[in-house]
Structure formats: structure tokens, C-alpha cells
Amino acid sequence: MAESDVMKEIEGLTFSAQLNLAAGKKAFSRNLRKHTLFGPLVEIARTPEGRRDIADRVAKMAAQAVDGQYEHPAGVAFSAYLTALAETAEPEMIARAARAVSAVANSSWAVSIANELLAAGNC
């Protein structure tokens, strides 16, 4: 699957709906890692260009204005991107992406992951 196709699916409503069925953080993380799109995303993140594309996409989506009354439409995508970067990227890149996501409103899964990455001090 092409990088653009994987990212489009990760940012889609179906992926978000499937993962938002989780009944807690552990279930969410387990379901994310088992999802058929996560493996291809990690493969993308194993290349320097792929990591850069993911980090740039996170920064771009985090900077977009959204309606604060609702869940951030990229919340689950942020979670997938941060998790993939955490497994493959350099500490500075992980920190940059995590800082961008930590400031996003109404994205509890992703903000939790971002804050854990920042608190771990590995980035």
C-alpha cells in the first residue's frame, strides 16, 4: 500500500471509529497495534523520508483550527502517528510531534500518548 493511501486511511472515519470502540487506554493501544493499517504505517516510519512525512503531517494537522465542541477529527490518527514514531524515530522528531499533539484540544487518546512520550524523557 502506498504511503499516501496508508495515511489517508489512518486519517479516515472508519479507522477512527474502529479504534474509538476501545473501553480504555490499554485496549486502545492493543487495538491500534493489531490494526491492519498499523504495520504498513510502521514500515513507512522506518525510512527517514517516511518519518519526516509523518512528523510534518502531525504538525500540519495539529495547527489546523477545528470546532472545539467536538472530538478532534485527527485524534486517532495522531495516536497512530505518535506510536509509530515512538517505535522508529529520533528523539528530537518524537518530541516535536508530541509537543504539537499535546496542545491539541479534544483529543484525549493522542494527548495522553504525547504527554507520556514527553514525560518519559526519551525524546
How many residues does this entry show for the chain? 123
What angle, 0 to 180 degrees and rounded to 10, lies between the N-to-C axes of helices 91-102 and 108-120?
Answer: 140
pLDDT at 78: 97
- pTM value is 0.93
Strand (E) or helix (H) holding 41: helix 38-45
Distance CA 39, CA 111 (A): 22
Of 14, 104, 26, 1, the C-alpha closest to 58 is 104
Q: Which of the pair, 102 or 69, is modelled with greater confidence?
A: 102
Distance CA 120, CA 7 (A): 27
For residues 81-106, average pLDDT: 95
* Percent of residues, the chain, with pLDDT higher than 70: 98
- The model's pLDDT over 50-64, given as tens digits with 9 standing for 90+, comes to 999 999 999 999 998
Query: Using 50, 70 and 90 to split pLDDT, how confident is the model at 123?
Result: low
Please answer whether residues 57 and 99 qualify as being in contact, where contact means their C-beta atoms are separated by less than 8 angstroms: no
pLDDT at 85 over 90: yes
pLDDT at 68: 79
- Half-sphere exposure of 118 toward its Cβ, with a 13 Å CA cutoff? 15
Phi and psi, residue 11, nearest 5°: -90, 0
Please answer whether residues 45 and 106 qualify as being in contact, where contact means their C-beta atoms are separated by less than 8 angstroms: no
